[in-house]
């Protein structure tokens, strides 16, 4: 009879031989010297894992996973003007990318037009400038909207950008029912982590519910929200916090929809998720597996979803920007490859691989291409795609999956006790937990307890810097000029009347999407509609907790 795990560790494991005082994941989860059958003893395979495509989907949401269809290779791109980004989109598609993903500039993301004083210095720098429908038409020029799925990363001004995309499709004769894509539209994580906002949490959630309701009826292939842990992790959370706060946000949206009287099975199959894939290889795989299991149980047991598709967590993943280093930037290619492999072994449906130059600037074309090729190498050369959940049943991975789930379930219980995620955000609970974790990790780096190669170990004198993408000031001048001319050329009465209709819908709590779609067709801008939100819903300000 073999020894139990504990007996073996006590009797046979040479603890004095350990080269480190303790072994932990990057999130500070202690790692045992051995994982063994004891770690999964007493568990039912059907209840905890299930075959792929079966409840609780720990092993993947589809029976055949990458043997049936590879993940979507979706590289996030956007800079300068709509023309510049359109060109990058076409380049990425020509190189085998299978979906588009749009990065907007900060003014667009915060609900300001390019000609607003707050946009000064920011236009086209962190993404593409889109102030009105005419910009959107240029951005997606020559791109077949019924054939490519598009993701748009935008949150507090998402309703306006989605309205523009829909209006553009209508003009091109593509019915909304044929449009596939995703809009991030996850405001709860904005208050928690990414911090792009216009109005306070309650009205922000109301707009999201409007969009979920509208899409469920009119654009049934569109994902109206992508519930995102990515930014939570980038802000410095642990893996368990990322898991917990993301699912708590998901619970918040489903609860708000159900409270409005929307049938859970009418929208739940189109909820999508977005996770980070950080450095700690097995922890990240475990996190994605735990997320699927938790969501399936939440949808079945908390929300009583009947449609099996409502239980499936389909997710996008992105390698961790915050793990990349300015020092020895070529090393980032290696980090990204390993993180991407964890995303694939974790069973993601879609993936963005970061570019090596991300800590310094937006990606150059060369850097973006290497990042895409990294995914293609994993897909076509490594052979990992021949297997469905090859790590299922690994004692270590299953134990880590259980451990992350337990930690996240405990967080969600505490959030429930506070009265739900909106209340927890108002109290600053997730924000403070993340700040603490970020501070702790920084201290560990400064002490050398955690390692970043090139930063606190293996430092060296740097070679010549990378060729970076530079965005010149002429981009801003051009875009400001363009928006001013466009505004001057509009039918002023139509614009005022369209804005009044949006204002009425905002005040009267009728669905905002139809009047916003009508308004953008008159070239009403992101800034003008956001001003209505500021006026009707109020302005949220950073509580500046340290």
Partner 1 sequence: MSLRPLRILVAKPGLDGHDRGAKIIARMLRDAGFEVIYTGLHQTPEMIAAAAEQEDVDAIGLSILSGAHMTLFPDVIDELKKRGIEDVAIFGGGIIPPDDLPELKRLGVKEVFTPGATADDIVAWVRANIHSRGD
Interface residues with partner 1 (CB under 8 A) are 106-107, 109-110, 112, 117-122, 125-126, 190, 194-196, 234-236, 322, 325-327, 359-362, 435, 438-439, 442, 445-446, 454-456, 465, 468, 470-471, 473, 541-544, 546
DSSP symbols for 270-317:
G-EEEEEE-S-HHHHHHHHHHHHHHHHHIIIIIS---SGGGG---EEE
Q: Which residue, 198 or 251, has its beta carbon nearer to partner 1? A: 198
State the nearest-atom distance from the C-beta of 331 to partner 1, in Å: 12
State the nearest-atom distance from the C-beta of 24 to partner 1, in Å: 20
Q: Which residue, 383 or 543, has its beta carbon nearer to partner 1? A: 543
Cis before 56 (ω within 30): yes
Q: Answer for the pair 291, 247: CB distance below 8 angstroms, yes or no.
A: yes
State the nearest-atom distance from the C-beta of 359 to partner 1, in Å: 4
State the nearest-atom distance from the C-beta of 438 to partner 1, in Å: 5
Q: Nearest-5° angle of CA 1, CA 9, CA 447?
A: 160
How far, in Å, are 205, 352, 365, 426, 542 from residue 534 at the CA level? 15, 33, 38, 19, 15
Q: What are phi and psi of 330, to 5 degrees?
A: -65, -25
State the nearest-atom distance from the C-beta of 467 to partner 1, in Å: 11
What is d(CA 364, CA 372) in angstroms, rounded to the nearest whole number? 12
Q: Which residue, 72 or 155, has its beta carbon nearer to partner 1? A: 155
Q: Which residue, 250 or 454, has its beta carbon nearer to partner 1? A: 454
CA atoms within 13 A on the CB side of 51: 2
State the nearest-atom distance from the C-beta of 163 to partner 1, in Å: 22
State the nearest-atom distance from the C-beta of 468 to partner 1, in Å: 6
Q: Which residue, 169 or 362, has its beta carbon nearer to partner 1? A: 362
State the nearest-atom distance from the C-beta of 224 to partner 1, in Å: 22
Q: Which residue, 418 or 445, has its beta carbon nearer to partner 1? A: 445
Q: What are phi and psi of 89, to 5 degrees?
A: -55, -50
Contacts of 235 (CB under 8 A, 6+ apart): 192, 193, 194, 434, 438
Q: Which residue, 110 or 412, has its beta carbon nearer to partner 1? A: 110
Q: Which residue, 5 or 335, has its beta carbon nearer to partner 1? A: 335
Rounded to the nearest 10°, the torsion over CA 52, 56, 59, 63 is 20
* Helix 526-537 vs helix 513-520: crossing angle, to nearest 10: 150
What are the contacts of 161-164 at 24+ separation with CB within 8 A? 161/104, 161/108, 161/130, 161/136, 161/526, 162/211, 162/224, 162/513, 163/513, 163/516, 163/517, 163/519, 163/520, 164/130, 164/132, 164/133, 164/136, 164/520
Q: Which residue, 43 or 473, has its beta carbon nearer to partner 1? A: 473
- Three-class SS of 205-274: HHHHHHHHHHHHHHCCCEECCEEECHHHHHCCCCHHHHHHHHHHHHHHHHHHHHHHCCCHHHHHHHCEEE
How far, in Å, are 159, 208, 271, 272, 307 from residue 211 at the CA level? 7, 5, 12, 14, 21
State the nearest-atom distance from the C-beta of 320 to partner 1, in Å: 13
Q: Which residue, 125 or 482, has its beta carbon nearer to partner 1? A: 125
State the nearest-atom distance from the C-beta of 456 to partner 1, in Å: 7
State the nearest-atom distance from the C-beta of 435 to partner 1, in Å: 6
Q: Which residue, 42 or 448, has its beta carbon nearer to partner 1? A: 448
């Amino acid at each position: 009879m073999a020894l139990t795990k504990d007996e073996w560790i006590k009797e046979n494991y040479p603890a004095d031989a350990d080269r480190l005082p303790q072994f932990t994941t990057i999130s500070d989860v202690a790692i045992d010297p051995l994982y063994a059958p004891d770690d999964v003893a007493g568990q039912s395979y059907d209840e905890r894992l299930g075959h792929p495509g079966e409840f609780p989907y720990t092993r993947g949401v589809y029976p055949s996973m990458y043997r049936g269809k590879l993940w979507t290779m979706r590289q996030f791109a956007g800079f300068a003007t709509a023309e510049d980004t359109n060109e990058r989109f076409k380049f990425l598609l020509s190189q085998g990318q299978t979906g588009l993903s749009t990065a907007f500039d900060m003014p667009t993301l915060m609900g300001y037009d390019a000609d607003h004083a707050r946009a000064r210095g920011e236009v086209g720098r962190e993404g593409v400038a889109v102030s009105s429908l005419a910009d959107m038409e240029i951005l997606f020029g020559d791109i077949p909207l019924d054939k490519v799925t598009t993701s748009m990363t935008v949150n507090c001004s998402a309703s306006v950008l989605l309205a523009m995309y829909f209006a553009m499709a209508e003009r091109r004769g593509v019915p909304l029912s044929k449009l596939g894509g995703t809009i991030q539209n996850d405001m709860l994580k904005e208050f928690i982590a990414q911090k792009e906002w216009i109005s306070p949490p309650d009205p922000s959630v109301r707009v999201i519910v409007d969009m979920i309701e509208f899409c469920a009826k009119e654009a049934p292939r569109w994902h109206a929200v992508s519930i995102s842990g990515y930014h939570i992790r980038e802000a410095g959370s642990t893996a368990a916090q990322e898991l917990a706060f993301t699912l708590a946000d998901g619970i918040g949206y489903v609860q708000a929809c159900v409270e409005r009287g929307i049938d859970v099975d009418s929208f739940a199959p189109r909820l999508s998720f977005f996770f980070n894939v950080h450095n700690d290889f097995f922890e990240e795989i475990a996190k994605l597996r735990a997320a699927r299991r938790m969501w399936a149980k939440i949808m079945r047991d908390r929300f009583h979803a009947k449609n099996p598709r409502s239980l499936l967590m389909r997710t996008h993943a992105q390698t961790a920007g915050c793990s990349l280093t300015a020092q020895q930037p070529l090393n980032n290619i290696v980090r990204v490859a390993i993180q991407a492999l964890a995303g694939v072994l974790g069973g993601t449906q879609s993936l963005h691989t970061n570019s090596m130059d991300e800590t310094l600037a937006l990606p150059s074309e060369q850097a973006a291409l290497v990042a895409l090729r990294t995914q293609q190498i994993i897909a076509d050369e490594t052979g990992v795609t021949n297997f469905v959940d090859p790590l299922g049943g690994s004692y270590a991975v299953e134990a880590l999956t259980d451990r992350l789930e337990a930690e996240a379930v405990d967080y969600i219980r505490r959030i429930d006790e506070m009265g739900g995620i909106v209340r927890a955000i108002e109290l600053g609970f997730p924000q403070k937990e993340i700040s603490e974790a970020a501070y702790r990790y920084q201290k560990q780096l400064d002490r050398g307890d955690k390692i970043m190669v090139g930063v606190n170990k293996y430092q060296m004198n740097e070679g010549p810097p990378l060729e970076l993408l530079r965005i010149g000031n002429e981009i801003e001048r051009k875009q400001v000029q363009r928006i001013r001319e466009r505004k001057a050329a509009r039918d002023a009465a139509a614009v005022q009347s369209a804005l009044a209709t949006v204002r009425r819908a905002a005040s009267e709590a009728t669905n905002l999407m139809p009047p916003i779609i009508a308004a953008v067709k008159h070239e009403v801008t992101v800034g003008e509609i956001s001003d209505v939100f500021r006026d009707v819903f109020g302005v949220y300000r950073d509580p500046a907790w340290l």
